[in-house]
């Protein structure tokens, strides 16, 4: 009997298998990202619920006093500031409370000079949380009334934290949300938006305007450098002007139009 010759098949590249593998891999990555976003959103919601429960308790405690005294606007502001007192008492790292009426931005602001990034991935209660908490830059000092308070926050895919800042790209949005409220332990401050722009974190060698390096204007020239630059960068004219001696609040979050991109909203403090 003649033996059959057994030929080995040459193994070529199976593109179907490769494409299938790539597709499966992408689905896994997408699924992980989706899971992470959902988990971050759930953590955020839990924290917000806890905030609301605490605030409701405090407001109910103050409500009777406010009604009895038929408080004027200044007394009402004091009453609102008092509503955050419980949070100051609960966590000594809280330096203030930031609120933009009509938006989701209504959060505590933390400051830990010994470790500025401590709350980068922690919530107000000190628990691990990718949403983090708003952070006041270490070089901003509310006790000395700095010319500029810089507050950093994450731009979360879930819409949490400073994700809503990017809505200021639209001039129509500004018209409905032109004011920023910031409550310290001692007072209530209101700012009106003076500039909205995109920027980035530059290298040390880059000889360009760096908004995040301005904290105090010791001279009119230093003030003008900051003011003229933010106005030039602004996506549109907000209709708000400022002059030497004015105080600012700068809200900064990550965006991805460029490496280390930032979206920035600057407010000028209104007279009390």
Per-domain residue ranges for the chain? 16-269
> Do 99 and 80 contact (CB within 8 A), yes or no?
no
> Do 240 and 204 contact (CB within 8 A), yes or no?
no
Summarize pLDDT for 84-93 with one digit per residue, the tens.
888 999 999 9
What DSSP line would sit under 219-252, residue for residue?
Answer: SHHHHHHHHHHHHHH-SS--S----TT--EEEEE
Q: Which segments of the chain does DSSP mark as H helices, in order?
A: 15-69, 73-82, 85-90, 171-176, 220-233
DSSP 8-state symbol, 185: S
Q: How confident is the model at residue 29 (pLDDT cuts 50, 70, 90)?
A: very low
Return phi, psi of residue 180, to 5°: -120, 130
> Do 124 and 110 contact (CB within 8 A), yes or no?
yes
DSSP 8-state symbol, 261: E
- CATH number for the domain formed by residue range(s) 16-269: 2.40.260.10
Q: Which of 75-84, 164-173, 185-194 has the lowest mean pLDDT?
A: 75-84
DSSP 8-state symbol, 190: E
Give me 8's structure tokens: 């080995």
pTM: 0.79
Q: Which of 45-49, 198-202, 227-231, 258-262 has the lowest mean pLDDT?
A: 45-49
- Cα–Cα distance for residue pair 156/168, rounded to 1 Å: 16
Q: How confident is the model at residue 45 (pLDDT cuts 50, 70, 90)?
A: confident
> Do 217 and 223 contact (CB within 8 A), yes or no?
yes
Residue among 185, 126, 159, 153 at smallest CA distance from 249: 153
Return phi, psi of residue 234, to 5°: -55, 140
> Do 258 and 182 contact (CB within 8 A), yes or no?
no
Q: Where are the beta strands (DSSP E) in 112-187?
A: 134-136, 148-152, 179-183
Helices (H) and strands (E) in the chain, counts: 5, 8
- Cα–Cα distance for residue pair 248/269, rounded to 1 Å: 6
The more confidently predicted of residues 185 and 23 is: 185
- Residue 74 above 80 pLDDT? no
- Cα–Cα distance for residue pair 245/242, rounded to 1 Å: 9
End-to-end CA distance of the chain: 108
Handedness of CA 120, 124, 126, 128 (dihedral sign): negative
- Residue 65 above 50 pLDDT? no
- Cα–Cα distance for residue pair 78/253, rounded to 1 Å: 30
> Do 174 and 168 contact (CB within 8 A), yes or no?
yes
């Amino acid at each position: 009997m003649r033996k059959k010759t057994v030929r080995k098949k040459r193994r070529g590249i199976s593109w179907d298998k490769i494409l299938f593998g790539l597709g499966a891999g992408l689905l896994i990555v997408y699924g992980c990202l989706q899971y992470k976003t959902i988990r971050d959103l759930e953590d955020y919601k839990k924290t917000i619920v806890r905030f609301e429960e605490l605030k409701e308790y405090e407001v109910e405690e103050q409500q009777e006093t406010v009604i009895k005294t038929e408080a004027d606007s200044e007394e009402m502001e004091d009453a609102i500031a008092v509503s955050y007192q419980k949070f100051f008492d609960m966590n000594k790292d809280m330096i203030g409370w930031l609120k933009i009426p009509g938006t989701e931005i209504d959060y505590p602001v933390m400051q830990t000079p010994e470790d500025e990034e401590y709350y980068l991935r922690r919530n107000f209660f000190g628990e691990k949380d990718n949403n983090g908490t708003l952070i006041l830059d270490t070089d901003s000092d509310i006790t000395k009334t700095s010319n500029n308070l810089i507050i950093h926050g994450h731009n979360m895919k879930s819409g949490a934290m400073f994700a809503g800042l990017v809505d200021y790209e639209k001039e129509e949005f500004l018209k409905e949300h032109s004011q920023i409220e910031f409550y310290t332990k001692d007072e209530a401050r209101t700012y009106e938006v003076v500039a909205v722009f995109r920027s980035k974190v530059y290298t040390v060698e880059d000889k360009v305007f760096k908004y995040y390096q301005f904290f105090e204007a010791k001279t009119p020239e230093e003030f003008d450098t900051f003011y003229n630059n933010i106005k030039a960068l602004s996506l549109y004219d907000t209709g708000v002007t400022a002059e030497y001696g004015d105080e600012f609040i700068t809200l900064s979050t990550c965006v991805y139009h460029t490496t280390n991109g930032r979206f920035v909203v600057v407010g000028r403090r209104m007279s009390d």
